[in-house]
Chain A
């Protein structure tokens, strides 16, 4: 990457039309001659020599590479979010503001409050993960003036530390409101119009085109570009495709990037349905989904990590078609449909019909996912999605289950059950559903249905779980769902045991 040409110039857009341009520390950076798959981390460390940002895993799972990306919202405000720089390709930050750990401290070594809080709480030991934690806390700091402990935990769910046990880092996050606003990167300074103005100066009229990379600006451009070159690779958040480069060392086909396509950024909410565009980040998608379906909140929180959710897209999770994508079971039981487009032609299919086999989808060459549509549910529908994994945060499911059951009196009037991790594709449990439909909503029915699961699925054994545990777990999640929606609900979740303890968190010194 050392051959990359960088210029720090406010050159007119036309002269640098094929350069990647972004804002770093108050200046426009213009980069030419980089490979389309150069990661932001690679660029920072190897071209600019900003080595504060670290590589811990090169797959977005440890957070050592966390940086913050600033964009203008539709209201013209600045919005800053943490992302994993190790799997984010540099061309995709064109037109955005990049903030790294080196950006935060003020003159004369004055640390930013998130940095000072980490020092004050003795929250670094080996220090290698620390810049990533600092940046995740920085993103929290900018959008949440009074973070509660839960907010801090959520913000740090994508950062691994092997030394501290996390306590002092959590304390640092919780102590942020006690610090005086810094001169640099206070909440007010982050909203200073200079940021938005500078960003505006590097927005484009025409698509960014460079060798192996195109970023269409509207859906017609996208459709024609893809139809003309169906061997191209569609890239959205890159939280999976990034790993093809960093882990599998693959040479990618020419990339068509979805992140600048205007129509794909939209969320349309009507009483009848939600429609979420293909470039909408998981963070935003989940927010509107669990606002409508509050019982999906836990799934939303446990879906990957904030930096992954900030880059990755819901439709990317769908189009990827992994058998263990966590969104699919819930979307399938919600009756989600996807809009597809190929050239000028559009069609719409049920999400569950999209998956034909392992890594096989009902997609024609040149066809792409435009949006997912989630219909409103009948008011009486009981809805839940659960996942089983070895760790609560940032883990891939052994089993992910979703249930939607509508009761009429005491009978099951409608039922949709779907699982991830149980088959080669995310799939409905048709035999189990059959065993439940029109039956009385009681334990005997559930017992029968649990037995039926073995006819629906013959799961695999792998490093996440054995076939036996998957089948057992799947049945027991149905059991949990029943108990959770029963008149005499027992305590069902381990965290409920916490309330029985007195609140005595105390640590010396």
Chain B
């Protein structure tokens, strides 16, 4: 190391440089987002001979194709090729688990919007116009459209499942009070601003490069390989960023990529397939709507004695991820509450609608809304403060702490969070003030609700809880990072880069994250289940630590030091108390010494196991907690609602990036509020989705964010498990905080009737639904 300039540094200087992990640094692409220079799939410059594709879709919900005449399509201006099942060299399927999702359906049409063929043309508009010219005749069959009809017909995509703990029959019989009811809730479109898109570019010797907006590049790779009957090594999938995902780009992009790849394979030319908004909303799956019939037994104080529940989800025409989603709904049906005697049956209803799929929370929100509605019912029937009933049913610490699926909860901080939020939000005072307001105001009623969340972190299926990373150091001291996680706006690339920068003591500017790439890091899990930073942060840290260890060993050898004397901070490497060198100089020296400056890293989540057949195990590494208080006003003339104030306290362990976590919390909350209020999916009697664009499907807009918002991260509560820098997952958990807004609306509706009334308010609480619920409490009076 004789050509390395070493300079003195004090230990104080080292201590001053706070690690970048934990700081509120901006999103790595923020400057690109605001200036229009962030490149999304649709912005990639295309080879000159690229074709543009469009799907030809079914206009009926159920039936058999009796004739398919595509001559007019092929004859349309600009059209180069058409792809039907006959053009698929391999498997005509994009279903990831059960292979029941045809890329192009052959004869049986199972939903309105189902792809039947795809067409490639010289321009996008030519392809879309041509696709609409297909002459298709059908022998129509009666469609099954809703959960009740599917239940009656025993129409399921997968077998029903059952969880039993304790002795619910006995406990129900001996419960002092019993109540039966039904909870229903609608689905939700993801409405990522960037629609589904893929570009397939043929390469030499049967290889194909796919640019795709996907949360699951490896699945896209595998599905395309199977469809083209090629080995996995021939298919490379790249994704630099998505314009939003929310679960909608977990299993769905495989369809888009496969169709583009099939056309690229057939024509030998690059093919881009971008769905416009309407096609996207008609063709791709949504959050499952659920229905639950329940019977609950409880004591005079509202403590749960027994719960029996039939849980049915509308899966659409195929399985997709419906099985795991129903399982997660079951695993989150307890939310924060100890269910000692419980009996849950799940039915996965097959309907002639689009196949529903992953959506932020993945069944968790539906399960949690059900138990929160039940608790709300109990409190109203007993005339108790719902919060008091909630707290009585919270999991205990050291006792009453085993979930209904056998998981012992070791990190319960529900009381800590609830105490803090109840005080900081002034919940009790405001609740009392509401009673007075509602007594004085005839037209505008107000409501309030505090709801907690406990959300299990890890994929239920243990196998997916693994991740890989690849880190290169170049001889100028800069670092190129790659990992299996995808960037959909959640700040994953930023957080993982912070982790790597921290390991090397480098500024973030020294780290570049390259597009997620199946040829760099193979066999990746979907970026889903809130696990992105947990898994990829640890994998990248492992890769960085391997490299750091090599550099330390090299420094020790050249400077006669022991490893504990070498520190990495502020762009330098500190060599004992007296010397430091620039990071890049140590790197250059290591290169000269022929030391590898590239390493993979790998992580597998410890401690977890899951026996799906027995509904038992420890599926989650840890739990993330939080709570929210929402207050609303409703107009009893029109059913219009307004969110007045929200207070949130969210557990993120030790945050990797408080600004990003805050953004996740706020965004998740409002997205959830949209699900439960304004976002209504409407199918007509023929099974046509009539809400397939923002003109008819209303996600929250800027005025829906409440004027009064107090959003805080819980402090001084590191993750008790050894996660990356003791942080906790944040992507999904805060979505469920929206339940407080829904129950606040219900609270306001209840104020229109007699004490003890149970408003029949289903989600989404549109103005119409709210007005109907107001009618129900005014006419029905108190529950018997």
In the complex, whether A122 has a CB less than 8 A from a CB of chain B is yes
Question: Interface digits, A448-489 against B, CB 8 Å rule (1 contact, 0 not)?
Answer: 000000000000001111100100110011011001000000
Determine whether the beta carbon of B640 is less than 8 Å from that of A169. Answer: no
Contacts of A161 in B (CB 8 A): 193, 702
Q: Which of B123, B277, B663, B701 contacts A391 (CB 8 A)?
A: B701
Contacts of A180 in B (CB 8 A): none
Known contacts A390-B680, A466-B768; decide if A495 and B642 are in contact (CB<8 Å).
Answer: yes
Rounded to whole angstroms, the CA-CA distance of A502 and B426 in the bound complex is: 11
Determine whether the beta carbon of A122 is less than 8 Å from that of B444. Answer: no
Minimum CB–CB distance for B13 against chain A, Å: 26
Determine whether the beta carbon of A119 is less than 8 Å from that of B26. Answer: yes
Determine whether the beta carbon of B666 is less than 8 Å from that of A164. Answer: yes
Contacts of B489 in A (CB 8 A): 124-128, 163
Known contacts A56-B277, A160-B694, A162-B191; decide if A122 and B670 are in contact (CB<8 Å).
Answer: no
Determine whether the beta carbon of A463 is less than 8 Å from that of B680. Answer: yes
Contacts of A479 in B (CB 8 A): 637
In the complex, whether A314 has a CB less than 8 A from a CB of chain B is no
Name B632's closest neighbour in chain A (CB-CB).
A494
Rounded to whole angstroms, the CA-CA distance of A396 and B125 in the bound complex is: 27
Determine whether the beta carbon of B663 is less than 8 Å from that of A497. Answer: no
Determine whether the beta carbon of B707 is less than 8 Å from that of A396. Answer: no
In the complex, whether B490 has a CB less than 8 A from a CB of chain A is yes
Contacts of B660 in A (CB 8 A): 122
Minimum CB–CB distance for B42 against chain A, Å: 7
Q: Which of B24, B45, B190, B696 contacts A122 (CB 8 A)?
A: B24
For chain B residues 116-171, which have a beta carbon within 8 Å of chain A? 123, 125, 128-129, 132
Minimum CB–CB distance for B295 against chain A, Å: 31
Question: Interface digits, B32-58 against A, CB 8 Å rule (1 contact, 0 not)?
Answer: 111111111011010000000000000
Minimum CB–CB distance for A214 against chain B, Å: 23
Contacts of A492 in B (CB 8 A): 443-444, 635, 637
Q: Of A56, A58, A126, A473, which is in contact with the most chain B CB atoms at under 10 Å from its CB?
A: A126
In the complex, whether A129 has a CB less than 8 A from a CB of chain B is yes
In the complex, whether A111 has a CB less than 8 A from a CB of chain B is yes
Determine whether the beta carbon of B242 is less than 8 Å from that of A159. Answer: no
Question: Interface digits, A180-203 against B, CB 8 Å rule (1 contact, 0 not)?
Answer: 000000000000000000000000
Q: Among the listed stretches B329-337, B461-469, B474-482, B708-716, which one makes contact with chain A, having 4 or more residues with CB under 8 Å of it? A: B708-716
Question: Interface digits, B692-704 against A, CB 8 Å rule (1 contact, 0 not)?
Answer: 0111101111111
Determine whether the beta carbon of A388 is less than 8 Å from that of B642. Answer: no
Question: Interface digits, B193-222 against A, CB 8 Å rule (1 contact, 0 not)?
Answer: 111000000000000000000000000000
In the complex, whether B99 has a CB less than 8 A from a CB of chain A is no
Determine whether the beta carbon of A249 is less than 8 Å from that of B125. Answer: yes
Rounded to whole angstroms, the CA-CA distance of A52 and B33 in the bound complex is: 8
Determine whether the beta carbon of A507 is less than 8 Å from that of B709. Answer: yes
Determine whether the beta carbon of A463 is less than 8 Å from that of B691. Answer: yes
Rounded to whole angstroms, the CA-CA distance of A129 and B191 in the bound complex is: 12
Contacts of A162 in B (CB 8 A): 190-193, 244, 246, 667, 671, 699
Determine whether the beta carbon of A507 is less than 8 Å from that of B698. Answer: no
Determine whether the beta carbon of A498 is less than 8 Å from that of B707. Answer: yes
Q: Which of A120, A167, A395, A463 contacts B690 (CB 8 A)?
A: A463
In the complex, whether A496 has a CB less than 8 A from a CB of chain B is yes
Determine whether the beta carbon of B709 is less than 8 Å from that of A496. Answer: no
Known contacts A165-B705, A497-B642; decide if A61 and B662 are in contact (CB<8 Å).
Answer: no
Rounded to whole angstroms, the CA-CA distance of A223 and B645 in the bound complex is: 55
In the complex, whether A104 has a CB less than 8 A from a CB of chain B is yes
Minimum CB–CB distance for B405 against chain A, Å: 32
Contacts of B283 in A (CB 8 A): none
Name A472's closest neighbour in chain B (CB-CB).
B771
Determine whether the beta carbon of B193 is less than 8 Å from that of A507. Answer: no
Contacts of A501 in B (CB 8 A): 631, 644-645, 707-708
For chain B residues 264-278, which have a beta carbon within 8 Å of chain A? 276-278
In the complex, whether A279 has a CB less than 8 A from a CB of chain B is no
Minimum CB–CB distance for B279 against chain A, Å: 11
Question: Interface digits, B561-596 against A, CB 8 Å rule (1 contact, 0 not)?
Answer: 000000000000000000000000000000000000
Name B696's closest neighbour in chain A (CB-CB).
A463
Determine whether the beta carbon of B45 is less than 8 Å from that of A61. Answer: no
Contacts of A343 in B (CB 8 A): none
Determine whether the beta carbon of B707 is less than 8 Å from that of A124. Answer: no
Determine whether the beta carbon of B663 is less than 8 Å from that of A393. Answer: no
Interface size on B, residues (CB 8 A): 101
In the complex, whether B613 has a CB less than 8 A from a CB of chain A is no
Rounded to whole angstroms, the CA-CA distance of A502 and B660 in the bound complex is: 28
Determine whether the beta carbon of B276 is less than 8 Å from that of A58. Answer: yes
For chain B residues 633-689, which have a beta carbon within 8 Å of chain A? 633-635, 637-642, 644-645, 658-660, 662-663, 666-671, 678, 680, 682
Name B658's closest neighbour in chain A (CB-CB).
A509
For chain A residues 78-133, which have a beta carbon within 8 Å of chain B? 100-102, 104-105, 109, 111, 114-116, 118-120, 122, 124-131
Contacts of A446 in B (CB 8 A): none
Determine whether the beta carbon of B37 is less than 8 Å from that of A508. Answer: no
Q: Which of A57, A128, A153, A398 contacts B277 (CB 8 A)?
A: A57
Minimum CB–CB distance for A130 against chain B, Å: 4
Minimum CB–CB distance for A129 against chain B, Å: 5
Interface size on A, residues (CB 8 A): 101
Contacts of B45 in A (CB 8 A): 49
Determine whether the beta carbon of A507 is less than 8 Å from that of B35. Answer: no
Rounded to whole angstroms, the CA-CA distance of A494 and B129 in the bound complex is: 46
Name B657's closest neighbour in chain A (CB-CB).
A122
Rounded to whole angstroms, the CA-CA distance of A508 and B191 in the bound complex is: 28
Q: Of B33, B194, B633, B767, which is in contact with the most chain A CB atoms at under 10 Å from its CB?
A: B33
Contacts of B245 in A (CB 8 A): 126
Known contacts A57-B277, A394-B701, A501-B708; decide if A52 and B443 are in contact (CB<8 Å).
Answer: no
Minimum CB–CB distance for B246 against chain A, Å: 7
Name A136's closest neighbour in chain B (CB-CB).
B702
For chain A residues 51-73, which have a beta carbon within 8 Å of chain B? 51-59, 61-62, 64
Determine whether the beta carbon of A476 is less than 8 Å from that of B637. Answer: yes
Determine whether the beta carbon of B642 is less than 8 Å from that of A391. Answer: no
Known contacts A59-B694, A162-B671; decide if A508 and B658 are in contact (CB<8 Å).
Answer: yes
Rounded to whole angstroms, the CA-CA distance of A504 and B647 in the bound complex is: 10
Q: Which of B34, B443, B633, B698 contacts A118 (CB 8 A)?
A: B34
Rounded to whole angstroms, the CA-CA distance of A388 and B635 in the bound complex is: 11
Determine whether the beta carbon of A160 is less than 8 Å from that of B193. Answer: yes
Minimum CB–CB distance for A220 against chain B, Å: 36
In the complex, whether A418 has a CB less than 8 A from a CB of chain B is no
In the complex, whether B491 has a CB less than 8 A from a CB of chain A is yes
Rounded to whole angstroms, the CA-CA distance of A477 and B635 in the bound complex is: 11
Determine whether the beta carbon of A130 is less than 8 Å from that of B34. Answer: yes
Rounded to whole angstroms, the CA-CA distance of A500 and B710 in the bound complex is: 17
Determine whether the beta carbon of A122 is less than 8 Å from that of B659. Answer: yes
Determine whether the beta carbon of A507 is less than 8 Å from that of B36. Answer: no
In the complex, whether A170 has a CB less than 8 A from a CB of chain B is yes
Contacts of B125 in A (CB 8 A): 249
Contacts of B767 in A (CB 8 A): 388-390, 398, 469, 473
Minimum CB–CB distance for A33 against chain B, Å: 15
Q: A52-B36, A490-B441 are in contact. List 16 more A-B contacts (CB 8 A).
A: A55-B276, A56-B193, A118-B34, A126-B488, A153-B703, A162-B191, A162-B671, A170-B702, A396-B696, A464-B696, A492-B444, A496-B444, A497-B437, A498-B644, A507-B710, A509-B713
Residues of A within 8 A of B (CB): 1, 45, 49-59, 61-62, 64, 100-102, 104-105, 109, 111, 114-116, 118-120, 122, 124-131, 134, 149, 152-153, 156-157, 159-170, 246-247, 249, 388-396, 398, 462-466, 469, 472-473, 476-477, 479-480, 483, 490-498, 500-509
Top 4 closest A-B pairs, CB basis? A52-B36, A126-B489, A128-B243, A127-B33
Residues of B within 8 A of A (CB): 24, 26-27, 29-40, 42-43, 45, 123, 125, 128-129, 132, 190-195, 241-246, 276-278, 433, 437, 441-444, 446, 488-491, 631, 633-635, 637-642, 644-645, 658-660, 662-663, 666-671, 678, 680, 682, 690-691, 693-696, 698-705, 707-713, 766-768, 771-772
10 contacts between A and B (CB under 8 A): A115-B35, A122-B662, A124-B34, A131-B33, A160-B191, A247-B278, A494-B640, A500-B433, A503-B708, A505-B710
